[in-house]
Structure 1
Amino acid sequence: MKVLYFAWLRERLNKGEETVTPPAEVKTVGDLIAWLAANDEAADLAFANRKLIKAAVNARMVDHNAPIAANDTVALFPPMTGG
């Protein structure tokens, strides 16, 4: 699974993307965020307020209850504003 990080998440994690293989019990975007946070101190800090984290799976906006699969691309980013 490819995970993409944008905006201040990319800056705080010092990476724009990574390939991960989460365990079978990671079935949703929320599970993935929790698993990433549990396995990386920087991610734990970056995801401290999980309500702020927006997500897309395969370029489609989703909520944290959305299912994920091993071949998905999951993008994580903070709220955006237009202008």
Structure 2
Amino acid sequence: MSESAEFLTEDELASMICAKSARKQMQWLDDHGWRYERNAAGKPIVGRIYARLKLAGVRPTESTAVAEPWQIDLSKVS
């Protein structure tokens, strides 16, 4: 698995939720207020950044889920 993968893998999702069944995974996600999409096979998919924020206790929003480009502020350097 590549660290830059956009979504949690099936194994990662199953490990986090302790369930292999897509139905049980979706029930857990619904019960815990997680957002997810369903792929063409009907299985839940969860974004990696979203999962990291949720697990860190951060409420994912548009502003927290987007990586802002870093810029140096030299205005306070003399």
By the TM > 0.5 criterion, same fold? no
TM-score (norm 1): 0.29
TM-score (norm 2): 0.30
Q: Pick the structure with more strand per residue.
A: 1
